[in-house]
């Protein structure tokens, strides 16, 4: 937990945000870092409904394709998955969604952080949307990738591509000044 807080603090300082997170991602699902094949993942955190996905439920989304330098990936938009869980917004806070982030965790505890703004097509999500891929080059993903992986085609490197997804958590930032 301390390691996660340190990483989030560093990311926030790099992003220029002086605020701390009100809700730190639950590491219990990924605490074992066992690695290996992930057959399901959960969407939780600042959402209205905690949801679980498996190959069948993930493939029920309208398929999106993303051409990358190494292959064509097919999957569901990460934004649509978050919307299905229902982004929990406080209408009393102007632009409340802008204070939220999405942390994707894989079975080896690798993580990637996305802002809601870069996922939401009405804000900053462009033509190269982040997808939760379930196919590569028209075929089911290799066993080593699990049934789903994050593909972020706009990234210059594959640093935020997470295989064997176990958890997708919406994290909410605390409004107000940072503690001393």
For 6-20, the pLDDT digits (tens) are: 344 444 444 443 333
The reply to whether 179 falls in a domain is: no
The reply to whether 33 falls in a domain is: yes
The reply to whether 34 falls in a domain is: yes
The reply to whether 119 falls in a domain is: yes
Provide the CATH number for the domain around residue 56: 3.90.420.10
Q: Which residues of the chain have pLDDT under 50?
A: 1-30
pTM strictly above 0.75: yes
The reply to whether 135 falls in a domain is: yes
The reply to whether 14 falls in a domain is: no
**Overall domain count for the chain:** 1
The reply to whether 137 falls in a domain is: yes
d(CA 162, CA 53) in angstroms, rounded, equals 16
pLDDT tens readout for residues 159-180: 899 999 999 999 998 655 555 5
Q: Angle at Cα 148 formed by Cα 31 and Cα 127, nearest 5°? A: 120
The reply to whether 123 falls in a domain is: yes
42: domain range?
Answer: 22-172
133: nearest Cα among 100, 160, 157: 160
């Amino acid at each position: 937990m301390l390691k996660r807080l340190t990483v989030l603090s560093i990311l926030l300082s790099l992003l220029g945000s002086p605020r701390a997170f009100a809700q730190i991602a639950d590491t219990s699902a990924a605490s074992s870092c066992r690695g290996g094949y992930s057959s399901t993942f959960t969407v939780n955190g600042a959402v209205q409904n905690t949801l679980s996905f498996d190959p069948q439920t993930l493939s029920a989304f309208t398929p999106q394709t993303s051409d990358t330098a190494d292959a064509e990936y097919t999957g569901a938009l990460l934004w649509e998955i978050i919307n299905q869980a229902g982004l929990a917004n406080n209408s009393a806070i102007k632009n409340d969604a802008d204070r939220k982030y999405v942390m994707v965790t894989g079975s080896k505890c690798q993580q990637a952080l996305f802002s809601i703004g870069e996922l939401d097509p009405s804000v900053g999500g462009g033509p190269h949307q982040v997808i939760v891929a379930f196919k590569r080059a028209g075929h089911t993903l290799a066993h080593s990738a699990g049934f789903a992986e994050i593909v972020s085609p706009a990234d210059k490197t594959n640093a935020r591509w997470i295989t064997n997804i176990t958890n997708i958590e919406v994290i909410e930032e605390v409004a107000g000044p940072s503690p001393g």
